[in-house]
Amino acid sequence: MPKKPVADVSDTETRATSEHAPDLRLWLRTLACTNLIENHIRSCLRAEFGITLPRFDLMAQLERSPQGLKMGELSKRMMVTGGNVTGITDQLVAEGLVLREDSPKDRRAYIVKLTPQGRHSFRKMAEAHEKWVVELFGGMDEKQRGQLYQLLALLKTSAAAAAGNKPRPRRT
Amino acid sequence: MPKKPVADVSDTETRATSEHAPDLRLWLRTLACTNLIENHIRSCLRAEFGITLPRFDLMAQLERSPQGLKMGELSKRMMVTGGNVTGITDQLVAEGLVLREDSPKDRRAYIVKLTPQGRHSFRKMAEAHEKWVVELFGGMDEKQRGQLYQLLALLKTSAAAAAGNKPRPRRT
DNA sequence: TTGTATATATCGACGCTTAAAATATCAAAA
DNA sequence: TTTTGATATTTTAAGCGTCGATATATACAA
C-alpha cells in the first residue's frame, strides 16, 4: 500500500527554525498548507472519480468560460507552461471530455471547450470538490477566513511585483 | 434585520454553491500565491545555480538535520512520496552532494546526509533563496505578515484535521 | 511587396511525482 | 521457532511539468 505522506509535527515547515528569517518561515508555512490541501484533494479526486487533479483543474477553467479558451489562456490561468496544457488537453480530448475547435479569428489558435459529457462529469465532481474544500477550511471561522483572503490578496500583489521584475517575464 | 431569504427547495445545489463559494475562492487564491512564488523560486534556482527546486528542498531538509535523515523522514517532511525521494536522492548522490549511509540500527533503512561539498553548495544557494523570499513578501508590512503567519497556523491545523479524518488510507 | 519580429501551439528530452507492487527487514505473537 | 503483520525502501508504469526548439501564422515596418 502506497503510504501517503502524512503531515505531522516534523513536516516541511521544520525546514526553518529559529535561526531563519521570519519571511522564510512564513513561506514554508504557506507551502505546507498548500501541499496538505492539494494532496488531500488529489487523493479524493482519484478515489471518488478516478480523475487526476490537473485534468480537473483544466476542466474547471473551461467550466468558468463557457465560450471556450485558447491554449495560451489555459496556460496562463493554470500557471503552467504551454507544452503542459497540450498534453493534458490531448488526454481529455481522448476521453471525450473536451474538444478543440479551430479559432475563426486566428488560424494559429485553438478554442478548447467542454463537451456536454465533460460538463456533466465536471459538475458532479465540482460539487464534491467544493465540499472537501469547505471541510478543509472548516476549522477557521468566517472572520478569520475573510482576513486570510484579504492578506493573500496583498501577498499575491507583492509576489507578482517581485517575480515580474526578475527572470520570469511571462506577461500578456 | 435584513430581508429574509426565501427558501427555494428546487435550488439546493445552487444555494449550497453560492454559500460556500467563498471557501473555494479562498483556496484558489492560496494556490495562486503558492504557484507564483514557487515558480519564481524555481526559475531563479535554475538560472543562478543550475539546480532544481526539489533537489534544493531535499538539501534544505538535510541542512536542518546534520545527523542525517532516513528516507522516510525526508518523505514526510517534504510531503512527497517515498519513491520520489529515492529518485531525487539518487541524483544528488551522483552529483556528490549527498551520501547514503547504512543505518546501524535498522538494515532496511538508510541515513542520508549532506557531503561537505553539498553543505558548502547549499549554504551559498540558501543565502540567495532567502533573499528572493524576502523580496516576494516585501510588499506586506510586518504586521500583515505576522497576521498571515497566525492565520496560516489555523489553516494548517484545520486542513490537517480534515485531511486526516476523511478518505485516507484504509487500515486493514 | 519584402523583411523582421512577435504570437500560438506542438514536439522531444529530461526530470519530478504519484500509485501500486515488490523486496527486505523487523518485531512480536502463536 | 515459525508465523504474522507492520515498517523501510525500491521499483515500475503512467502521468505531470519545464525547457528549449520548431513550425506556422500574424503584425508591422520599410
Q: Phi then psi for A126, rounded to 5 degrees?
A: -65, -35
In a domain, A157, yes or no: no
pLDDT tens-digit map of A64-114 = 999 999 999 999 999 999 999 999 999 999 999 999 999 999 999 999 999
Q: Give B70's DSSP letter.
A: E
Among A3, A9, A23, which would you mutate to test the B interface (most chain B Cβ atoms within 10 Å of its Cβ)? A23
d(CA B11, CA A26): 41
End-to-end, the C-alpha distance of chain B in Å comes to 53
The reply to whether A116 and A67 lie within a common domain is yes
Does residue B11 form part of some domain?
no
Q: What is the pLDDT of residues A16-68, one digit of tens each?
A: 444 458 999 999 999 999 999 999 999 999 999 999 999 999 999 999 999 99
Among A116, A132, A148, residue at a domain's last position? A132
- Torsions phi, psi for B66 (to 5 deg): -60, -25
* Confidence at residue A164, expressed as pLDDT on a 0 to 100 scale: 78
Q: What is the pLDDT of residue B98?
A: 97
Query: Stated in angstroms, how far is A140 CA from D12 C1'?
Result: 41
Q: Do residues A126 and A56 share a domain?
A: yes
**DSSP result, B80-124:** S-HHHHHHHHHHHHHTTSEEEEE-SS-TT-EEEEE-HHHHHHHHH
Report the alpha-carbon distance of residue A127 to residue A129 in Å, rounded. Answer: 5
CATH code, domain carrying B144: 1.10.10.10
* In a shared domain, residues A76 and A109: yes
pLDDT tens, residue by residue, A144-161: 999 999 999 999 999 999
Chain B neighbors of A151, CB-CB under 8 A: 140, 144, 147-148, 151
Query: CA B108 → C1' D2, Å?
Result: 21
**Percent of chain B scoring above 70 in pLDDT:** 84
In a domain, B69, yes or no: yes
Distance A80 CA to C4 C1' (A): 29
Identify whether B16 is part of a domain.
no
Residue A170 — very low, low, confident or very high, per pLDDT cuts 50/70/90?
A: very low
- Are A22 and B69 within 8 A, CB to CB? no
A165 vs A137: which has the higher pLDDT: A137
DSSP character string of chain A? --PPP---TTSGGGGS-TTS-HHHHHHHHHHHHHHHHHHHHHHHHHHHH---HHHHHHHHHHHH-TT-EEHHHHHHHHTS-HHHHHHHHHHHHHTTSEEEEE-SS-TT-EEEEE-HHHHHHHHHHHHHHHHHHHHHTTTS-HHHHHHHHHHHHHHHHHHHHHHHHTT-----
Nearest to B58 by CA among B104, B103, B93, B107: B93
Pairing of strands A98-102, A110-114: antiparallel
Assigned domain for A59 exists: yes
CB-contacts to strand D (7 A): A 3, 52, 54-55, 79-84, 87-88, 91, 106-108; B 39, 42-43, 46, 70-73, 75, 82-83, 85-87, 89, 100, 103, 106, 108-110, 171-172
**Number of domains chain B is built from:** 1
Cβ-defined contact of A10 to B35 (cutoff 8 Å): no
Its domain, for residue B40, covers 30-158
- Candidates B22, B23, B38, B53; CA nearest to A30 is B38
Confidence at residue B88, expressed as pLDDT on a 0 to 100 scale: 97
d(Cα A144, Cα A139) in Å, to the nearest integer?
10
Contact yes or no for A35 and B79 at CB 8 A: yes
CB contact under 8 A, A17 and B75: no
Cell of A17: 527554525
Do the Cβ atoms of A92 and A99 come closer than 8 Å?
no
pLDDT tens-digit map of B87-119? 999 999 999 999 999 999 999 999 999 999 999
Q: Which residues of A46-83 are buried (b: 16+ CB within 10 A; e: fewer)?
A: eeebebebbbbbbbbbbeeeeebbbbebbbbbbebeee
A125 shares a domain with A67: yes
Check if the beta carbon of residue A136 is closer than 8 Å to that of residue B27: yes
DSSP 3-state assignment of B79? coil
Contact A163 B39 (CB under 8 A): yes
For residue B14, count other CB atoms closer than 10 A to its CB: 10
A105 part of a folded domain: yes
- To probe the interface with B, which of A1, A10, A31, A37 has the most B CB atoms within 10 Å? A37
Compute the CA torsion angle A102, A107, A110, A111 (nearest 10 deg).
-70
Cell 528542498 belongs to which residue?
B57
Lowest average pLDDT, out of A136-140, B11-15, B63-67, goes to B11-15
Same domain, A84 and A58: yes
